[in-house]
Structure 1
Amino acid sequence: MTCDSVFVYSSDYLNYKFSDDHPFNHIRVKLTQDLLTEMKALNDSDVIAPRIATDDEIALIHDPAYIDAVKKAGKGSLASSIAANYGLGTEDTPIFSNMHEASALIVGGTLTAVDAVMTGKSDHALNVGGGLHHGFRGKASGFCIYNDSSIAIEYMKKKYGAKVLYVDTDAHHGDGVQWAFYDDPEVCTLSIHETGRYLFPGTGNINEKGQGKGYGFSFNVPIDAFTEDESFQEVYEASFRKVIDFFKPDVILTQNGADAHYYDPLTHLSVSMKSYEFIPKLAHQLAHEYCDGKWIAVGGGGYDIWRVVPRAWSRIWLEMKGLSISGRLPQQWLDRWNPLSPLTLPENWDDETNLYEPIPRKQEITEKNKLTCERALYQITNQ
């Protein structure tokens, strides 16, 4: 299907940078934009610039004292002892110059995407610079300073009166978004992630179902390490279809971390590019079935920034535009970025056939994931 879609982008996204050797590097956003441009799938008319979110907008989720601390930290005027109370200046979230401005632009980018969809300017909107799902009300966490997805959800509730379904396929549990709406029946969160037994943040168990009026609106499917495409897709489709039919949202917000891929250095899953084609395809289909097409997508994790993220995130945009692609990546893109990449870039959109050695526990992992998914959805199935 062909739909109106917008791509939110600014080269200023690269200002969100902790250090040269930090695993979170937003050059991946530039790599994605450049790849789409080289293959002529992204035109100037598709791109809209992000705005900087206001303090009031950021305060929809974050405490004013925390916002003030982020501002001071970015100006070098926050004592390290105070910074530590806010999760700033840690190994995960080091302080960098003008960190408030860089973070507020990412939030504003996701709000720009929201307004484009909710005002009818476009059916879909993509902000791959967003998806910082670990930020808490008064604390930075897991490379995330401001939680743009949580802010966007609260913004949609207040400005548009929308019921929002948030679907997170990052390998790390979307904890910041879940806890922000844990008692809210107007927001439903679904996270498919690697089990917290082995991975940060250690949360996202199936018994985290919400509380108070929000009980029954939080869903988690923690999958086993070494999960492969077939099992990942089975769990994702089964849970997404059941949850959206149960909740019947006005709009879908998907977080598209690309760190479940086998190459990712921080996680232990074995997903290939096949799943990163499947993930947005299902989201697109269900958005049209349930929400008149209203679909906002953001980026997220993904730490093989050269070989994996650009190909994975490009597929979200290609799906939004109804474009299919296979074969070789544009030669000009490969020539431009290979000299800068520490690893030889793949030449094709799809992964090589033998991406990894066969995993001996495949059947056991698949059966365990299926059971976990059934248990996570039990309350819906048995209504």
Structure 2
Amino acid sequence: MKIVDEGAKFVFHQDEIDYRFNDSHPFNQQRLVLTCDLLRKAGALPDEAVISPRSATEEELGYVHSKEYIQAVQALSLPAPDREWLARAESYGLTSEDTPYFTRMHEITARVVGGSLKAAELVMSGETSHALHLGGGLHHAFSGKGAGFCVYNDASVAIASIRAKYGARVLYIDTDVHHGDGVQWTFYTDPDVCTFSIHETGKYLFPGSGGVDERGDGLGYGCNFNLPMEPYTEDASWLECFEESLRRVVAAFKPDVIVSQHGCDAHAYDPLSHIHCSMNIYARMPQIIHRLAHEHCEGRWIALGGGGYDIWRVVPRAWSLLWLEMSGHPLGASVEADGLLPLPQDWLDEWGPQSPKQLPGTWLDNPASWESMPRRDEITEKNRRTLQLTTLHLPPETVG
């Protein structure tokens, strides 16, 4: 089935780069600037596709976050927070090295959440089938606590809004190398929200959760799926587990809409994980999700950003490939035909001198030139056993 899409929307505003903790923090939204510039220099991001985000209201934030937590975020957003709130900040997860409070935190993060709400509204209203908000994907925040670089959980708020306003069944797909714990626990008992996360096993990586035995609870039992991959997993094993399990999950759950989170930190260059995948998975996973959206959801697909800490060599290419797939731009087919197609020279000329490491010159990588993983067969076999456990309780008629 050849998919031809027109009119996909790209939710973005320059202000979203203000979501930053400090100058040395690994979460650096300069990657949004790099990505948008790459797409524009490639001729793939027309002005008419770009939609500005709005700000989430306190009522909308309250779909997921407690009133007390919202008040704490607001109070700690002041240039000089009150001493009482400073004394309580640790209990809200906002004094950690990962997620320290910062000035205008509430205002800036409410706009991030509003961007994901805007993307959801564009799709659920029928204005477009696909919408992308790369500034979102803050999937670790909980109802009353920030965590893992995330203050508010825009993915959870967007899903809760879809449930409240449209009554749609939502499939959430998380491709970040870190388990999508905040979204999972938000909807752990909800039979109308299915969460699916592929990530490096929590035995070795934050947040330490995401085992195959976390399947949901109460009415939501059987609506939560985790694929914890072994360290040093490579492309073939990652994609084998992702595609087979996701295809079966979608067929069994029968969603009305897909919300996907596209952290791109499972790449071998990423400094915060141990997975050894190439840019190939960031070309292939959006293709798989795109096809499933058309097969099961009448094309309804909302995509968000996420992690990704090699902001020069990995994130701009990975997120650009996602947009090329969502928008049906012909450059995507050209990259698929020739993965070593050169990146725009003017983009390399502009950003190359600023990058701490040499920028790759092509859209995809050449993993054949990388050092081979010595335990490849063992890792592949362990991942296959995980795949079997993850899909164990799916109805047999969904196989194939």
- Normalising by the residue count of structure 2, what TM-score does the alignment of the two structures yield? 0.94
Q: CA deviation at 1:95?
A: 1.6
Per-residue deviation, 1:382:
4.8
Which residue is equivalent to 1:340?
A: 354
Do 2:252 and 2:395's aligned partners in 1 also have CA atoms closer than 8 Å?
no
| Structure 1 residue 347: Cα displacement | 1.1
Provide the rounded CA distance (Å) in 2 between the counterparts of 1:128 and 1:370: 31
Cα-to-partner distance string for 1:12-43 (whole Å, 9 max, x where unaligned): 01110101110000111111111111111000
Once the two structures are TM-superposed, the CA of residue 295 in structure 1 deviates from its matched residue by 0.3
1:180 to 180, 186, 202: 186
2:257–2:301: 8 Å Cα contact kept in structure 1?
yes
* Shift in Å, 1:49: 0.3
Match of 1:41 among 44, 50, 72: 44
1:45-66 per-position Cα deviation (integer Å, ceiling 9, x unaligned):
0000000111100110001111
The one-letter code matched in structure 2 to 1:348 is T
Further displaced range: 185-194 or 350-359: 350-359
Structure 1: which 4+ aligned runs deviate by more than 4 Å?
A: none
CA contact (8 A) 1:265 1:304 kept: yes
Identity over the aligned pairs, expressed in percent? 53
Letter in 2 for 1:77: P
Q: Which residue of 2 aligns with 1:19?
A: 22
Counterpart code for 1:252: I
How far apart, CA to CA, are the structure 2 residues paired with 1:353 and 1:129? 29
Q: Compare 189-198 and 87-96 and name the one that shifted more.
A: 87-96
8 Å CA contact 2:198, 2:228 repeated in 1: yes
In the aligned structure 2, how far is the partner of 1:353 from the partner of 1:161? 44
Deviation at residue 381 of structure 1 after TM alignment: 4.2
Match of 1:143 in 2: 149
What is the aligned partner in structure 1 of residue 53 from structure 2?
A: 50
Q: Specify which of 99, 102, 109 is matched with residue 96 of structure 1.
A: 102
Amino acid at match of 2:86: S
**Map of 1:303 onto structure 2:** 309
Partner of 2:338: none
What is the distance in 1 between the residues matched to 2:43 and 2:225? 38
Query: 8 Å contact 1:257–1:299 — kept in the other structure?
Result: yes
Distance 2:383 2:250 in 1: 20
Q: Which moved more, 1:256-265 or 1:320-329?
A: 320-329
Match of 2:236 in 1: 230
Measured in 2, the distance between the counterparts of 1:381 and 1:186 equals: 17
Partner of 2:73: 70
Write out aligned runs for 1:302-381 (5 A).
Answer: 302-323=308-329, 324=332, 325-326=334-335, 327-354=341-368, 356-381=370-395
The DSSP-based 3-state class of the residue aligned with 2:354 is coil
The answer to whether the Cα contact below 8 Å between 1:287 and 1:294 also exists between their aligned partners in 2 is: yes
Q: How far has the Cα of 1:80 moved from its partner?
A: 2.7
Check whether the contact 1:2–1:320 (CA below 8 A) recurs between aligned residues.
no
8 Å Cα contact 2:248/2:394 also seen in 1? yes
How many residues of Structure 1 are paired with residues of Structure 2 in the alignment?
383
Q: Aligned-pair distance for 1:223? A: 0.6
Shift of 1:337: 1.3
Two-structure CA RMSD over aligned residues (Å): 1.1
Counterpart Cα distance in 1 of 2:369 and 2:313: 13
Q: C-alpha displacement at 1:81, in angstroms?
A: 2.1
CA distance in 1, matches of 2:49, 2:396: 44
Q: CA deviation at 1:320?
A: 1.0
1:355, 1:145 → 2: CA distance?
39
Q: Secondary structure at the match of 2:102?
A: coil
Q: SS at the partner of 1:91?
A: coil
- Give 2:38's aligned amino acid: L
1:284 Cα deviation after fit: 0.4
Identify the range of structure 1 (64-73 vs 351-360) with the bigger mean alpha-carbon deviation. Answer: 351-360
Note the residue ranges of structure 1 that are not aligned, 5 or more in a row.
none
Please give the alpha-carbon distance, in whole angstroms, between the structure 1 residues aligned to 2:148 and 2:319. 20
Equivalent in the alignment of 2:259: 253
| Structure 1 residue 339: Cα displacement | 2.2
Distance of 1:2 and 1:56 partners within structure 2: 37
In structure 1, what is the equivalent of residue 133 of structure 2?
127
d(CA) in 2 for partners of 1:338 and 1:295? Answer: 33
What residue is the counterpart of 1:82 in the other structure?
Answer: 88
Distance 2:22 2:129 in 1: 36
Structure 2 gaps of 5+ residues are 336-340
Q: Which residue of 2 aligns with 1:32?
A: 35
Correspondence list, 1:148-187, <5 A: 148-187=154-193
TM-superposed deviation, 1:354: 4.0
Q: State TM-score, norm by structure 1.
A: 0.98
Of stretches 322-331 and 134-143 in structure 1, the one that deviates more from structure 2 is 322-331
**Contact 1:147–1:176, Cα closer than 8 Å, also in 2:** yes
